[in-house]
Structure 1
Amino acid sequence: MKKILNENLTLFYTHNYPKFIKNKSTKKYNITLGIGGNIGNTKQLFDKLFLCLLKDSRFDLLMTSPLLLNPPFGYLKQNFFLNGIIQLKSNLCPNDLLKVMQRYEKKFGRKRSFQDAPRTLDIDIIFFDNKKINTEKLIIPHKDWANRESVIIPLNYMNKLKK
């Protein structure tokens, strides 16, 4: 199912996006991930990522957002992006989480060529509990998240679904 928000924004509802998975977890940290991609069959890739995270004992998946088709920013000569939000819990520290997510990106074909380049899969750590981190390798909350429709719209729809 899809819901057209305007000529540039469309929400997609699939089997795994949005989805409530778990209400309770004994893991320590609440984490919000942003996912995005615009190369290949992105919906299928997101489903594969969902299944990998579901099977990964380091994580308890809590819920996912609908997927948002939206225009690129920065480098504009590329396809629209599909973006979504995944909320999960983990006992991993922020730097270990970053390493694991970068391994997932690589597993699904991510190549890092230049800023805002087309990609198969991008996984951003939007929030990590209520922590604020600003290092060379990691900024949490994710830089400029509040000004990105690709984060705000799926996050808002997910918050509505919680109620």
Structure 2
Amino acid sequence: MAPSLVRAYVGLGANLGDGAATLRQVLAELRDTDGILAVAASPFYRSAPVEATGPDFINAVAAVDTDLAPLALLDALQALENRHGRQRPYKNAPRTLDLDLLLYGDVRMEHERLSLPHPRMRLRAFVLLPLRDLAPEMVLEGGRIEDWIGGIRDQAIERA
């Protein structure tokens, strides 16, 4: 029996190099990744770093239909980060590419490598605004996306 497809959401960001070009390339690479059958992307946004310093980020969210298990999808995302020169010299360092698994269907999990849903996603404009573009009726932790956006209006973000 073939595994069923799950809709997962992935946050994309880059603030080193040409972030928009990197995100376009990574979206194409996601489409070519074994186990990912479809990819839809939000528009790109420019946002100031949160709890970090450095240049502005280019951000987006991708909806992916996958038959990969959560940790296998995380491995695929981290392989893409590594391919794009991701370094982790210190927490919240500027990065060539950042891919965060935000949601994986209705799965809730706590693992040393992965928490689902992503624990800070509802606090981040660079996640909520592009996520709203893809799934405006989505409910996160008992509230509509629009309800959560009301709490992050002070974060600097604009369409790129």
TM range, smaller chain: 0.7 to 0.9
Q: Which residue, out of 11, 30, 36, partners 1:59?
A: 36
1:27–1:89 Cα contact (<8 Å) kept: no
| 2:91 is the alignment partner of 1:112 | no
Q: Which runs of 5+ in 2 are unaligned?
A: 137-160
* SS state at 1:63 partner: strand
* SS state at 1:45 partner: helix
CA distance in 2, matches of 1:60, 1:27: 11
Q: Which runs of 5+ in 1 are unaligned?
A: 1-25
How is 1:9-158 mapped onto 2 (pairs within 5 angstroms)? 27-76=4-53, 78-158=54-134
Q: Following TM superposition, where does structure 1 have runs of at least 4 consecutive aligned residues deviating by more than 3 angstroms?
A: none
Q: Percent same amino acid among aligned pairs?
A: 25
CA distance in 1, matches of 2:100, 2:49: 16
1:27–1:60 Cα contact (<8 Å) kept: no
One-letter amino acid matched to 1:82: I
Residue 56 of structure 1 and its aligned partner are, at CA, apart by 2.2
One-letter amino acid matched to 1:60: L
TM-score when normalising by structure 1: 0.78
CA distance in 2, matches of 1:159, 1:89: 14
| Superposed CA RMSD | 1.4
Number of residue pairs matched by the alignment:
134
2:27–2:39 Cα contact (<8 Å) kept: no
CA distance in 1, matches of 2:32, 2:114: 26
CA distance in 2, matches of 1:45, 1:137: 24
CA distance in 2, matches of 1:156, 1:109: 29
TM-score when normalising by structure 2: 0.79
One-letter amino acid matched to 1:71: A
1:36–1:83 Cα contact (<8 Å) kept: yes
